[in-house]
Structure 1
Amino acid sequence: MTTTPPAPQDDLPDRLLAALLGAYEVAAVALGDRLGWYRSLADGGPATAAELAARTDSDARYAREWLEHQAVSGYLDVADVHADPESRRYPLPDAHRAVLVDELDPGHMTPLARFTSAVVRGVPALTQVYRGRRTLSWADLGDEVRDAQAAANRPLFLGPLVDELLPAVPGLDAALSAGGRVADIGCGHGWSAIGIARRWPQARVDGFDVDPPSVARAHQHAEAAGVADRVSFRTDDVAVLVDDPEGPGQLDGAFDLVAAFECVHDLPQPVPVLRAMRRMVRPGGTVLVMDEAVAEEFTVPGSEVERLMYGYSLFCCLPDGRAHEPSVATGTVMRPGTLRTYARAAGFADVEVLPLDNDFFRFYRLVG
């Protein structure tokens, strides 16, 4: 007599339950950040619901529910779990401050929670996008997504990017220390340009981005950082600008570093932009692309980074890229082979993956 072995237990229900718990936690983190509740607990110390509400001009009953959720989910501590609900005091653990409050810490993650909670609200619109009945661009997503994206990259751009990563690119530190010129393509809110200007006081940086609200914020940030005399921003498409005889200055061969930090995968037409970058760099200069550190090939199952980047692509990057026609529709998951294809079509001889260590980003030097 033979028996059929039992089928393996499908863990999908457990995975979905964990994902649902995580989704609510992400939304609660975004809410607490927007209300200033984490900041209040960090700067003002442990609080009851009434105290937190009074500090932040909010409602005590809602504050209590949020505090209890954060405690049962492990984001906050509670001084006495048996105390009356109105008397319970909730401290923010010291170990959680960097993740939830410290805006310049490399481990700061509340901007990612804000970004995610904002883009998933677009599911009804994306249903129509996916059916080909409308588009959803970066402009449609609005300031909340713009601000969250910029805040997520800010710790990297003002810290490790200029303190560790760019100085490790051969020849770059010497060129910028000697007063080199930098073109920051897709500069967004300007944090990468500002970071470079602060790290290399002799350098000049020109930022380019086609999104006017982002460029307006970049101007404000440069003024506040005290580098506006050496950093400029403009809403120009470099693919068009390099061919404009009346454009602002001669861009051909003008820059020691031409960089595109986390934006090539978003470009509807990356080849013309890369071709412009090739023209803009001086002989012996550096063309650098920083983009997501996805796997070199599609594999199943994927890593956490791979899954995260596909999530961004579904809800933001691919719809934005396809909102402007014609579009190559890259999406967030731009593998090295894809960039190499674009670069060669733009006239580069090859793409070198630089040995710079970062969990989320890969650095490419485009040569020839």
Structure 2
Amino acid sequence: MTVDEAKLNDLLGRFVVDVGASFQALGAVVGDRLGLYRALLAVMPAVPADVARKAGADERYVREWLAAQAAGGYVSYDPGTERFFLTEEQAFVLADPDGMQAAAAFLIPLAAGMNIDRLTEAVRTGQGFPWHAHDPGLFEGTERFFRPSYVANLVSSWIPELDGVEDKLRTGARVADVGCGHGSSTLLLAAAYPSSEVVGFDYHAPSVEQARKRAVDAGLADRVSFEVASAADFPGGGYDLVAIFDALHDMPDPLAAARHVHEALAEDGTFLLVEPYANDQLEDNLNPVGRLYYGASTVICVAHSMTEEPRTALGAQAGEARLTDLLHEAGFRHARRATETPFNLVLEARP
């Protein structure tokens, strides 16, 4: 075997980046939990002692943390003044409470890693690993990863792209948010459309309990409710809108779920299906977004889908063509791409 030294060095360079990124994940979560990004934003430009004092953390650890964050491009450093600061973009992504809070996304791989032995065995044997068996950090990280996109797009972009749905919501509609998790999307809909009745369903009881607390905190408990139920048997009918956000591909039987949505809709109702963005051909997903979603899908999405028959395992990169075929098989006559973002496909289906 002849090894091309240039290609070898390129591969090793990728390896160094990835190993560094795994430590960046740890540092980002530490920074998020201790408020180090927010502390830097409040006192910048700052030396490590300033940040440590503001955050109530140890200066020596903070000095090392800031150096690592600067090396990773998450914070900035001025060698002339020996002070650290955040650009506007870094602040929006990491420190602004109303920004992306992107550091929380690292909770997802860290939480999955807590069960690496069981996940390894699942990959070896073909057994499943259920969502509810993961460390709770996964549930928090998932909500905080997806919520900024919902805040930025759901009411302002996605709903207006659906035929006639916005008018129904404004005048008063029945809405079901299936697989609602901690209820971010449910609460956004309830807040934006006070005349509508919104209910969130999730099979995971602890997430439903958390969603109920969020509703109380948001002052929306009188207009939104949360119930424990799966996508294939959630109660009620005559819904004007049923939505599933970034969850259908996780389900062991997404076809049964889509069929139940079809049955639960009013005759002129709409199914809003939001899924991770993917092209239809694997080679077109070999990019940073695809890397993120394929990686998470291996240990979270496919793993959960393999827990029960028929173990469909769509995966987080199912793509529009496969999803559209599933919707048609479930009984929907009309299915189309309503819109998209770099991270999501937004599909509209009608009976």
Q: TM-score w.r.t. structure 2 length?
A: 0.90
Task: Tell me which residue corresponds to 1:358.
Answer: 341
Task: Tell me which residue corresponds to 1:132.
Answer: 125
Aligned-pair CA distance for 1:347: 2.0
User: 2: CA distance between counterparts of 1:255 and 1:188?
Assistant: 20
Q: Is the 8 A contact 1:292 1:361 kept in 2?
A: yes
Runs of 4+ in 1 over 6 A off after TM superposition: none
User: 1: CA distance between counterparts of 2:130 and 2:64?
Assistant: 35
| C-alpha distance after superposition, 1:57-104 (max 9, x if no partner) | 33222112112222333322345557xxxxx54323333110102243
Task: Tell me which residue corresponds to 2:92.
Answer: 98
| C-alpha distance after superposition, 1:14-54 (max 9, x if no partner) | 22222223333233222211221111112344443334333
Aligned-pair CA distance for 1:258: 0.8
Cα 1:301–1:14 change in 2 (3 A) is: farther
Q: Is the 8 A contact 1:340 1:350 kept in 2?
A: no
User: 2: CA distance between counterparts of 1:300 and 1:207?
Assistant: 34
What is the aligned-residue RMSD (CA, Å)?
2.3
Cα 1:180–1:102 change in 2 (3 A) is: same
Stretch deviating more after TM superposition (9-18 or 159-168): 9-18
Q: Which residues in structure 2 correspond to 1:155-304 (within 5 Å)?
A: 155-242=148-235, 251-252=236-237, 254-299=238-283, 302-304=286-288
Task: Tell me which residue corresponds to 1:70.
Answer: 69
| Counterpart residue identity of residue 296, structure 1 | D
Q: Which residues in structure 2 correspond to 1:278-357 (within 5 Å)?
A: 278-299=262-283, 302-354=286-338, 356-357=339-340
Cα 1:334–1:104 change in 2 (3 A) is: farther
| Counterpart residue identity of residue 103, structure 2 | T
Q: Is the 8 A contact 2:127 2:306 kept in 1?
A: no
2:86 is paired with a residue whose SS is coil
User: 2: CA distance between counterparts of 1:234 and 1:170?
Assistant: 28
Number of residue equivalences? 347
Identity %: 30
User: 2: CA distance between counterparts of 1:260 and 1:301?
Assistant: 23
Aligned-pair CA distance for 1:195: 0.7
Stretch deviating more after TM superposition (55-64 or 210-219): 55-64
| Counterpart residue identity of residue 32, structure 1 | G
Aligned-pair CA distance for 1:307: 1.8
Task: Tell me which residue corresponds to 1:41.
Answer: 40
| Counterpart residue identity of residue 99, structure 1 | V
Cα 1:238–1:316 change in 2 (3 A) is: closer
Task: Tell me which residue corresponds to 1:153.
Answer: 146
Cα 1:9–1:64 change in 2 (3 A) is: closer
Greater fraction of residues in helix: 2
2:232 is paired with a residue whose SS is helix
Task: Tell me which residue corresponds to 1:3.
Answer: none
User: 2: CA distance between counterparts of 1:362 and 1:209?
Assistant: 21
